[in-house]
Each structure stands twice: as C-alpha cells, then as structure tokens.
C-alpha cells in the first residue's frame, strides 16, 4: 500500500497515463438539513480556502461516470441524482502558480509541462443527496470534507463560487421538471419542510396555504397517518412522495410557476 505522499507523487507525475488532460469535473453536492440547503465542500491543503469536490476523468470514463465516482468517494453514496449543468472554460480559470506552490509545500517535484499545469476546462455537475445518508469523506488531496450552509460558503478557490451560483440557478429552473424534492428530502417529511426547501431554492417566501393546496393538487404526495412529534407546537403530518405519480407528472412538468 502506497503512503499518501507517494500516492500524490504518482498522480501528479504519472496521472496523465490514466486521466484525460485538460478536462475535469466539479460537483455541487446539495443536501437539506435543519431547514437549510447545504453544500459539501473540501478543504484545500496549505490554503485557508475551501473548494467544490472535483476530480479528473479517466480515459475509459464518461463525464457522468467520473462525477459519479467523485460523488461516491465523497459521500459513500451510490445511484445518486446527478446532472451536468454547464461547462466552465475561461482561459484563466486554472491557477498554475497555486498548484506549483502547493506541490513545493508538499515537497513534490513537478516536471516542466506537467499535465496538471496546463489549462483545464471543467464540467459542472450538481447532485442531490439525502443529508442523513451521506458520510462526508476526505482523501489524499483534501484535508477535510464537510457540509456548509449555502449562505455561508465564504470565498472559494477559482471560479467555484460562480459554479455554485450557476448550479443553484439551474436547480431553480428545473424545480418543476426534476425530482428535486424527492432526492433532497428523507423518505418521510412534513409539508412545512417541503415548503422550506422550495423557499430556499427559489430564494423567496411562499404562502403556506397556497403552497399546500398546489402541492397536494399535483397528486404526487401520499399523506401518512403519522405525525412529526417533538416540535414545540402542533404536530404536522408526514408525507411521502408517490414516486410513480411524481415521475409521471414531471414528464410534462409540474404546472404553474412559483
């Protein structure tokens, strides 16, 4: 078994044997917990800042498979909702100087024209995971991996703030066409929880009563007999998505704007 430094050396100096040059993926992994939309970030070594989990594309992988692999490595989850949404290809989006500095800090020699010092274009993906199920995990190229409140991500490296913004906008537009509620919420949830999710994604408040009427009108929710106990107030009903009806409704798009 290789140690961490050797693993890094191999990747830096021989990665181009297995990975495609110039092409990377970055994933905005969303979760929802305590009425907050969360994003999974990783801490860069020798840098105060955080970054989106990302990775490179093996020569025998599609972009989707690469994104799926990165997601699995970071959350332990399989078969997760994952969609590409934009290609980021600004000329100066990579930062070769930072990379070389990091390698110096790690004591790793980098030869001229190393594949990682060249320009990378990155395909942005967004993933929707059940917060409870995900187990944030770091690896050899990141110190820490943890959830952040969306409003609280601070300044990230490179164009990663822009990528998150773009992912959020995509999700907003696709709210009526993708099973976003289903993938972000646990199996059972309350109507207020679903509403908070919608409000967070849309960035505006919605009328509680109209929201419920419209949601139930779609016929995609099954109300359970249980209620959520433990809150300081009236116990709300629990709901489940009726997956069959949900899928059917999404094909045409849920009708009406927010």
Question: Is residue 224 within the footprint of DNA (CB under 7 A)?
Answer: no
Rounded distance between C-alpha atoms, residue 44 and residue 152, angstroms: 17
**Nearest CA among 53, 60, 58 for reference residue 129:** 53
Question: Is residue 59 within the footprint of a copy of itself (CB under 8 A)?
Answer: yes
1 binds, among DNA, a copy of itself, none (CB under 5 to 8 A by kind): none
Question: Is residue 206 within the footprint of a copy of itself (CB under 8 A)?
Answer: no
Q: Are 199 and 192 in contact (CB under 8 A)?
A: no
Nearest to DNA of 30, 211 (CB atom):
211
Residue 230 Cβ vs DNA, minimum distance, rounded to whole Å: 6
Nearest to a copy of itself of 57, 238 (CB atom):
57
Question: Is residue 207 within the footprint of DNA (CB under 7 A)?
Answer: yes
User: Using CB under 7 A, which of 111, 112, 204, 233 touches DNA?
Assistant: 233
Rounded distance between C-alpha atoms, residue 123 and residue 255, angstroms: 30
Q: Are 201 and 168 in contact (CB under 8 A)?
A: yes
Tokens for 14? Answer: 């021989």
CA torsion 157-158-161-164 (nearest 10°) is -110
User: Using CB under 8 A, which of 8, 123, 128, 150 touches a copy of itself?
Assistant: 123
User: Using CB under 7 A, which of 76, 154, 217, 253 touches DNA?
Assistant: 217
Rounded distance between C-alpha atoms, residue 52 and residue 55, angstroms: 10
Tokens for 230? Answer: 């433990």
Rounded distance between C-alpha atoms, residue 38 and residue 208, angstroms: 23
Rounded distance between C-alpha atoms, residue 231 and residue 220, angstroms: 26
Question: Is residue 162 within the footprint of a copy of itself (CB under 8 A)?
Answer: no
Inter-axis angle of helices 4-14 and 96-106, to 10 degrees? Answer: 140
User: Using CB under 7 A, which of 34, 234, 244, 252 touches DNA?
Assistant: 234
Question: Is residue 105 within the footprint of a copy of itself (CB under 8 A)?
Answer: no
Question: Is residue 121 within the footprint of a copy of itself (CB under 8 A)?
Answer: yes
CA angle 53, 54, 58 (to 5 degrees): 145
Tokens for 38? Answer: 């969360």
**Window 5-34: contact mask with a copy of itself (x via CB under 8 A):** ---------------xxxx-----------
Question: Is residue 165 within the footprint of a copy of itself (CB under 8 A)?
Answer: no
Stretch that binds DNA, among 123-131, 132-140, 176-184, 230-238 (CB under 7 A): 230-238
User: Using CB under 7 A, which of 139, 214, 242, 245 touches DNA?
Assistant: 214
Q: Are 173 and 201 in contact (CB under 8 A)?
A: no
Rounded distance between C-alpha atoms, residue 53 and residue 66, angstroms: 12
Binding site for a copy of itself (CB under 8 A): 20-23, 57, 59-64, 84, 86-87, 89-91, 119, 121, 123, 173, 177, 253, 255-257
Binding residues (CB under 7 A) for DNA: these are: 190-192, 207-210, 212-214, 217, 227, 229-237, 255-257
């Amino acid at each position: 078994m290789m140690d961490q430094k050797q693993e890094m050396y191999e990747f830096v100096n021989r990665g181009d044997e297995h990975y495609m040059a110039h092409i990377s993926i970055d994933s905005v992994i969303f979760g929802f917990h305590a009425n907050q939309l969360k994003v999974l970030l990783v801490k860069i070594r020798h840098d105060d800042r955080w970054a989106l989990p990302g990775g490179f594309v093996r020569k025998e992988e599609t972009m989707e498979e690469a994104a799926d692999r990165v997601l699995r490595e970071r959350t332990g989850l399989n078969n997760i909702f994952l969609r590409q949404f934009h290609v980021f290809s600004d000329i100066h989006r990579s930062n070769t100087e930072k990379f070389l500095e990091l390698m110096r800090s790690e004591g790793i020699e980098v030869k001229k024209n190393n594949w990682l010092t060249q320009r990378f274009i990155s395909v942005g993906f967004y993933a929707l995971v059940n917060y409870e199920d995900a187990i944030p995990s770091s690896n050899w190229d990141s110190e820490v991996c943890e959830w952040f409140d969306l409003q609280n991500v601070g300044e990230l490296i490179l164009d990663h703030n822009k990528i998150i913004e773009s992912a959020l906008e995509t999700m907003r537009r696709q709210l009526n066409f993708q099973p976003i509620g289903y993938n972000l919420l646990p199996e059972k949830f309350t109507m207020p929880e679903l509403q908070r999710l919608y409000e967070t994604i849309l960035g505006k408040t919605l009328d509680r009563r109209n929201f419920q009427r419209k949601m139930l009108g779609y016929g995609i929710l099954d109300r359970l007999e249980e209620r959520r106990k433990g809150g300081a107030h009236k116990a709300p009903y629990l709901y489940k998505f009726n997956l069959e009806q949900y899928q059917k409704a999404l094909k045409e798009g849920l009708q009406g704007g927010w």
